[in-house]
Amino acid sequence: MPRISVMAGASVEAWPAPEERLTGILARGPLARSAGDYPGSMPETLRTLTAALHREEDWYIARCLEVDVASQGHTIDEALANLAEAVELYLEEVDDPAGHITATPLVTSFHLPAA
């Protein structure tokens, strides 16, 4: 079962060299800084969610099993990337993101008698 990761916060794991920081700041403007531009910023946290995919004609449909969100793409990677973005945007908009994420369901297979 494919899994997706949704990021929250800003990373400080690889603090860029001063000239790289300056280039980034100049490219965005001196006041357009993200939380990751500062040492000691909140580190990124990753949450791993589960995606179920199926194909409909030329599209792969990806559905997050913990959050009621789905997306699509022409490839599996594109569908998963679109789903990760859709879930992240959805969770940014709701009042209580943790309350909108359910436990990962048990996903298994079963057999039917041959017809």
Most confident option among 2-11, 25-34, 60-69: 60-69
Most confident option among 11-15, 23-27, 69-73: 69-73
Determine whether domain 3-95 maps to CATH 3.30.160: yes
Cβ-proximal residues to 104 (8 Å cutoff; 6+ apart), any chain: 49, 50, 65, 66
CA 83, CA 76: separation in Å to the nearest integer? 10
- Is pLDDT of 16 > 50? no
Cβ pair 10, 45 in contact under 8 A: no
More confident call, 98 vs 115: 98
Q: What pLDDT is recorded for position 20?
A: 46
- Is pLDDT of 7 > 50? no
Q: What pLDDT is recorded for position 59?
A: 97
Q: What pLDDT is recorded for position 60?
A: 97
**Could you report the per-residue pLDDT of 31-42, keeping only the tens digit for each?**
444 444 445 544
Cβ-proximal residues to 24 (8 Å cutoff; 6+ apart), any chain: 16, 37
- Look at residues 103, 99, 70, 100 and name the one whose alpha carbon lies nearest to residue 84: 70
Q: What percent of the chain has pLDDT over 70?
A: 62
Q: What does the block give as tokens for 2?
A: 């494919």
